[in-house]
Amino acid sequence: MLIIIGLGNPGKEYQKTPHNLGFMAIEEIAKENEFPGFRLSKKFKAEISEGEISGQKTVLAKPQTFMNESGKAVKAIFNFPSFAPPARFDARRAGGASAGKQFSSLLVIHDDIDLPLGEIKISENRGSAGHKGVESIIKALKTKGFARFRIGAKPAAKPENAKDFVLKNFTKSEEKVVKKALTNTVQAIKSAITEGVEKAMNEYN
């Protein structure tokens, strides 16, 4: 089972903000691959949808715990037997050879204030670099052995307060850049699943 997590904050007021780029991307993945509508699961503390991507059974999830506690939802999903990746999962196809055991099938999508708006970068087996949502997941799973798809949220002019900036709505011109970035992210995810994360890195980084 492949698990793809998109990070963000629940609530309409956050829908078009930089901090919700993970949610936006996961919704595009669901649309592109004809997944059923997301449903709220109190058990998993997330909205989830199940389907297949390139023949691989996949769970898409949007944690509803707010960004800083994303790890609670991710841990709940991984602790569920039906979603737990099997020991024989091919890490070369999803997660790369360097990823950590059962977490090799976890892909996390999130915003990155250090990357220019619209740019995407893939990494794996790395620390949170200060991202509170990723930090929460690493602490909850006790590993950093998973792949991350980072979508740039850095504006042209440096904001006075980064914390406030990531919770403000995108402008119309920014939305056009974001739309292209989401399309690229969907393609990068598919590449990682079919060809492996390392190859996706070479192509999209």
CA distances from 23 to 18, 79, 202 (A): 10, 22, 25
Tokens of 204: 């999209």
Catalytic residue among 19, 45, 150, 154: 19
Nearest-Å Rg of the Cα atoms of the chain is 15
Tokens of 128: 């949170």
Distance CA 22, CA 38 (A): 15
Distance CA 35, CA 126 (A): 30
Beta bridge partners of 124: 147
Distance CA 201, CA 145 (A): 16
110 catalytic, yes or no?
no
Catalytic residues: 19
